[in-house]
């Protein structure tokens, strides 16, 4: 059993903060070649796994970019290939990322029919001005309409992304966005503080000193407000940036935080499989060319040390509010985390940044905004 991630490096227009591997579609031929390559990649993995009898998928995640930039039949084609080649676990979670303005009812219905049962919309904000300054292509109204359509199409597990800490954003704008978001009737909300990355439009502006980001105090207040409003609405924060109604936690993403194996297909996708971490090429032409020759497009492979694996299990696990499963840690590594990290845990416990429950190692609420500081003790 494993998770399957498929990357679609296409979008309508690059956003000002985006450093993901994506860009506008240059030609329909490219899309066709890309889909053929994806099918080939799926086939290769199928052949590799067939002998071992390891063909059951736990989760599927179509991410990007904006996968819904593609036509419904193109996405359905990929999903059907997945169904042909792999076994879908009962209760399989299949998510697609979408952006308001790239979906219509027909597309949504077809996706639903092809097996997608969870959809995640990049809503980001309900402030017209902020959306524009982020370089988003949609309006608040389009976001509301897209989500309504998804419901009509039969989706019962809908997630949205929101962003805070945006240039010139005020607390009252944020308050409004949160309230609007809660009006939508979605089951899952991811809330990300802006991180300005180099090479993005905003990164360049920042380098020139032309980006006016909110003060740290304000961004902390924004996170706090978000925690309060979402919790009042029945959402539980289950990960540093993720909130869900009970039972609607993202199973695919939770797999990453628990260190479960996953295969990543498509341009630049990463996998953690066969106890190795490997990454596909970031060059679209190269990706297509390699798969045309029937070769996996892997360009980087990393064999993690035991110690690195342990560190990862801790810092990924601590992202979850449940924390690191100490039993599981012991089983996986043959040594208890409390033993191998005894000094670190003791120090952090005294500082009030970490607590050890019967079964788990957890961050305290105080530690959440400075989680990296805690993580550095374990890497």
Partner 1 sequence: MTQGWQNRIRNFCIIAHIDHGKSTLADRLLEYTGAVSDREMEEQLLDKMDLERERGITIKLKAVRLSYKAKDGQTYELNLIDTPGHVDFTYEVSRSLAACEGALLVVDAAQGIEAQTLANVYLALEHDLEIIPVINKIDLPSADPERVKQEIEEVIGLDASQAILASAKTGQGTEEILEAIVQRIPAPNGEVDKPLRALIFDSYFDAYKGAIPNIRIVEGKVTKGMKIRMMSTGKTFEVTDVGIYTPDIKPVESLSAGEVGFIAASIKNVKDTRVGDTITQEDRPAAEPLPGYKKATPMVYCGLYPIETNQYDDLRDALEKLQLNDASLLFEPETSSALGFGFRCGFLGLLHMEIIKERLEREYNLQLITTAPSVNYRVVKTDGEVVMVDNPTNLPEANYLERVEEPYVSASIIVPSDFVGTVMELCQEKRGQFDNMEYVTQNRVVLTYTLPLSEIIFDFFDQLKSRTRGYASLDYEFKGYYEADLVKLDIMINGEVVDALSSIVHRDQAYYRGRALVQKLRKLIPRQLFEIPIQAAIGNKIISRETVKAMRKDVLEKCYGGDVSRKRKLLEKQKEGKKRMKQIGTVEIPQEAFMAVLSIDE
- Of 81, 98, 44, 75, residue with least CA distance to 271: 44
Are 4 and 263 within 8 A, CB to CB?
A: yes
In the complex, the smallest distance separating the C-beta of residue 27 from partner 1, rounded to whole angstroms, is 26
In the complex, the smallest distance separating the C-beta of residue 79 from partner 1, rounded to whole angstroms, is 19
217 binds partner 1 (CB under 8 A): yes
First CA to last CA distance, the chain: 28
305 binds partner 1 (CB under 8 A): no
88 binds partner 1 (CB under 8 A): no
Q: Half-sphere exposure of residue 155, counting CA atoms within 13 Å on the CB side?
A: 34
Comparing CB distances to partner 1, the nearer of 203 and 369 is 369
Comparing CB distances to partner 1, the nearer of 156 and 216 is 216
Q: Binding partner 1 by CB under 8 A: which of 183, 302, 327, 346?
A: 302
372 binds partner 1 (CB under 8 A): yes
In the complex, the smallest distance separating the C-beta of residue 311 from partner 1, rounded to whole angstroms, is 7
Cα 86 off chain centre by: 22
Comparing CB distances to partner 1, the nearer of 76 and 273 is 273
Backbone region of residue 53 per phi and psi (left: phi > 0; alpha: psi in -120 to 50; beta: other values): left
Q: Is residue 83 exposed (0-12), middle (13-18) or buried (19+ Cβ within 10 Å)?
A: middle
Q: Tell me which DSSP letter residue 22 carries.
A: -
Comparing CB distances to partner 1, the nearer of 158 and 363 is 363
303 binds partner 1 (CB under 8 A): no
Handedness of CA 43, 49, 51, 56 (dihedral sign): negative
Instruction: Classify 92 as helix, strand or coil.
Output: strand
Comparing CB distances to partner 1, the nearer of 112 and 120 is 120
262 binds partner 1 (CB under 8 A): yes
193 binds partner 1 (CB under 8 A): yes
User: Strands 2-8 and 56-64: what pairing?
Assistant: parallel
Comparing CB distances to partner 1, the nearer of 45 and 72 is 45
Q: Which residues bind partner 1 (CB under 8 A)?
A: 3, 5, 192-195, 216-217, 219-220, 240-241, 253, 255-257, 262, 264, 268-272, 277, 302, 308, 311-312, 315-316, 319, 351, 368-373, 375-377, 379
């Amino acid at each position: 059993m494993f998770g399957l991630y498929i990357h679609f490096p296409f979008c309508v227009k690059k956003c000002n903060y985006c450093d993901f591997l994506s860009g506008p579609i240059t030609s329909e031929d490219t899309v066709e070649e890309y889909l053929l390559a994806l099918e080939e990649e799926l086939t290769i993995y199928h052949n590799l796994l067939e002998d071992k009898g390891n063909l059951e998928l736990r989760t599927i995640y179509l991410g990007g970019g904006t996968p819904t930039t593609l036509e419904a039949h193109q996405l359905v084609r990929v999903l059907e290939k997945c169904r042909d080649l792999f076994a879908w676990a009962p209760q399989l979670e299949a998510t697609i990322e979408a952006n308001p303005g790239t979906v219509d009812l027909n597309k949504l219905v077809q996706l639903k029919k092809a097996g997608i049962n969870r959809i995640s919309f990049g809503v980001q904000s309900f402030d017209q001005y902020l959306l524009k300054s982020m370089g988003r292509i949609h309006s608040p109204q389009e976001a509301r309409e897209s989500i309504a359509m998804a419901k009509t199409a039969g989706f019962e597990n809908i997630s949205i992304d929101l962003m805070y800490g945006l240039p010139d954003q005020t607390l009252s704008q944020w308050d409004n966005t949160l309230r609007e978001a809660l009006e939508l009737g979605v089951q899952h909300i991811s809330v990300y503080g802006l991180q300005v990355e180099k090479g993005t439009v905003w990164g360049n502006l920042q380098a020139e000193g032309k980006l006016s980001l909110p003060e740290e105090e304000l961004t902390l207040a924004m996170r706090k407000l978000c925690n309060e409003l979402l919790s009042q609405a029945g959402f539980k924060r289950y990960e540093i940036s993720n909130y869900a109604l009970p039972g609607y936690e993202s199973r695919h993403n939770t797999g990453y935080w628990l260190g479960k194996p996953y295969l990543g297909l498509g341009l630049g996708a990463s996998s953690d499989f066969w106890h190795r971490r490997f990454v596909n090429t970031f060059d679209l032409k190269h990706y297509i060319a390699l798969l045309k020759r029937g070769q996996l497009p892997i360009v980087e492979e990393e064999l993690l040390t035991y110690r690195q694996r342990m560190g990862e299990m801790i810092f990924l696990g601590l992202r979850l509010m449940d924390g690191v499963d100490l039993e599981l840690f012991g089983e996986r590594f043959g040594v208890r985390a409390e033993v191998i990290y005894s000094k670190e845990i003791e120090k952090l416990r005294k500082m009030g940044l970490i607590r050890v429950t019967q079964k788990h190692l957890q961050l305290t609420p105080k530690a959440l905004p400075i989680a990296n500081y805690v993580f550095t003790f374990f890497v």
